[in-house]
Amino acid sequence: MMVGIDDNTLSEIRRSSLVREKNGHSIGIRNISDRLGEIYGTDAMVRFESTLGIGTKVMVINIVRENSFR
């Protein structure tokens, strides 16, 4: 079984997480990105790193600002 994601597929995943498809279809990552944005604003993001043959890392990042708890 091959691990990791090839560069073309990874680029498509990244693009799909940012752009809603014209036909209304998108992958679940777009939904996660939208929901993070609604809850945490523009500081939240989903980031992908992958090396074919090694593996894939998906990170959910939320920057907490000092004044955000007031």
Give 11-68 as a DSSP string.
HHHHHHTTS--TTS---HHHHHHHHHHHHHGGGEEEEEEEETTTEEEEEEEEPPPGGG
Predicted confidence (pLDDT) per residue in 20-53, tens digit: 665 665 567 888 888 888 988 888 888 889 999 9
Task: For residue 65, give its domain range.
Answer: 7-69
Residue 59 domain flag: yes
Residue 31 domain-assigned (yes or no): yes
Residue pair 62/35 in contact by the 8 Å Cβ criterion: no
Instruction: Record the pTM.
Output: 0.64
pLDDT band at 68; cut points 50, 70, 90: low
Task: Please state the domain count of the chain.
Answer: 1
**Domain contains 1:** no
